[in-house]
Amino acid sequence: MDILAVADIHSRIGYVRRLVEKIGKVYVVVIAGDITNFGNADFALHIVSLFQKICRNVLFVPGNCDDPKLTRISGKNNSINIHGKYFIVNNIVFLGIGGSNITPFHTPVEYS
């Protein structure tokens, strides 16, 4: 089972498009936060949707630089927000904890 894990995209959609073109099909994509660089939830979901070209199971958590609304959105199409949840694929458990600890930068999604 091929798993692609990415993090800290920070709105660099061109990199995502090139990666999707080169990587080929995988079984699971895990996006570990900072999908955008302070962008809105719709833009984050658009970026997540680009991975659906190579994978049926796209799992994600919002990062501290993402829109707080993303913590409450379940996903779109075959993408699944696992923030505060878990998802099992072929007996592998993926547990999602998004955001970050408190930072001196006062980013949108921080937890104490």
44-95 pLDDT, tens digit per residue, is 999 999 999 999 889 999 999 999 999 999 887 789 999 999 999 999 999 9
At 23, which CATH number? 3.60.21.10
As for how many domains the chain has, the answer is: 1
Task: Record the pTM.
Answer: 0.94
CA distances from 104 to 10, 63, 67 (A): 19, 16, 18
Owning domain of residue 10: 3-111
Q: Are 35 and 48 in contact (CB under 8 A)?
A: yes
**Contact between residue 50 and residue 16 where contact means Cβ atoms under 8 Å apart:** yes
> What is the pLDDT at residue 39?
97
